[in-house]
Structure 1
Amino acid sequence: MSTASQVGAAPRDPGPVDSQVGPARRPRRSLPAGTVLVAAGTFLLTLAVMLPLYVYDQVALLPAEAEYELRLTDEDASYLDTSTWSWVEGSEVERHTAVDATASGSDWSAWEMTVDTSAPDRMVDHWSRRVIVDRSTARAVNCCGEHVDGDRAVRQAGLVHHFPPGAGADSYPFYDAEVRSAPSMEFQEEDEVAGVPVRRYTQAVEATQVPDSARDVPAALFSATASGTVTATRWLELTRTLWVEPVSGTVVNVQETRAETLRAQDGDDAVPLLEADLTLADAQVDGYVEQARVQSVLLRTLDTWAPWTLAPLGALALAAGLLRARSQKAQEHRDAEAGESAGGEPGDGTEVGEQEDRPAEHGSGSVTP
Structure 2
Amino acid sequence: MTAGSGGSDARDGRDAWDTAGPGGPVPDRPRRPGSRAVSAALARNGRLIALATAVFLITSALMLRFYVAGELEKIPARAELTMRLTDDSAAYLDTGAWDEVRGAPVERLTEISGDYAPGNSDWTAWRMSTEVSSGGTPLAYRERRVVVDRATGTAVNCCGEHVGGDREVRQAGLVLRWPAGGTWDEYPFYDADLRAAPPMVFDGGATVGGLFVRRYVQTVDTAQVPDSARPVPARELGLDRPGTVEAHRWLELERTLWVEPVTGRVVDAREVRHETLRPENGDGERLLLDADLRMAEELSDAKTGAAERRRTLLRAVRSWLPIGLGAAGGASAVWALAGAVRARRAAAQARGETQPRARS
Scaled by the length of structure 1, the TM-score of the pair is 0.83
Match of 1:254 in 2: 269
Query: Of residues 49, 62, 75 in structure 2, which corresponds to 1:49?
Result: 62
Match of 1:76 in 2: 89
Match of 1:263 in 2: 278
Which 5+ residue runs of structure 2 have no aligned equivalent? 1-36
Match of 1:90 in 2: 103
Please identify the structure whose Cα radius of gyration is greater: 1
Match of 1:288 in 2: 303
Query: Of residues 278, 299, 311 in structure 1, which corresponds to 2:314?
Result: 299
User: Does the CA-based 8 Å contact 2:148-2:156 persist in structure 1?
Assistant: yes
User: Does the CA-based 8 Å contact 1:35-1:325 persist in structure 2?
Assistant: no
SS at match of 1:34: helix
Query: Of residues 329, 335, 348 in structure 1, which corresponds to 2:350?
Result: 335
C-alpha displacement of 1:62:
1.1
Match of 2:130 in 1: 115
Match of 1:245 in 2: 260
C-alpha displacement of 1:268:
2.9
Query: Of residues 196, 199, 209 in structure 2, which corresponds to 1:194?
Result: 209
SS at match of 2:121: coil
Match of 1:320 in 2: 335
Aligned length, in residue pairs: 319
Please state if 1:100 is matched with 2:100: no
Matches within 5 A, 1:24-173: 30=42, 31=44, 34-104=47-117, 105-173=120-188
User: Does the CA-based 8 Å contact 1:183-1:203 persist in structure 2?
Assistant: yes
**1:210/1:224 CA distance change after superposition, 3 Å:** closer
Question: Quick one: which amino acid aligns to residue 334 of structure 1?
Answer: Q
Q: How many Å separate the matches in 2 of 1:285 and 1:307? A: 32
C-alpha displacement of 1:64:
1.1
Match of 1:7 in 2: none
Q: How many Å separate the matches in 1 of 2:354 and 2:45? A: 21
Q: How many Å separate the matches in 1 of 2:181 and 2:251? A: 31
| Aligned CA-pair RMSD | 1.7
SS at match of 1:107: strand
Q: Structure 1: which 4+ aligned runs deviate by more than 4 Å?
A: 27-30
Match of 2:24 in 1: none
Aligned-pair identity (%): 44
Query: Of residues 188, 195, 198 in structure 2, which corresponds to 1:183?
Result: 198
Scaled by the length of structure 2, the TM-score of the pair is 0.85
**1:64/1:316 CA distance change after superposition, 3 Å:** same
Q: Deviations over 1:61-83 (max 9, x none)?
A: 21111211111100000001100
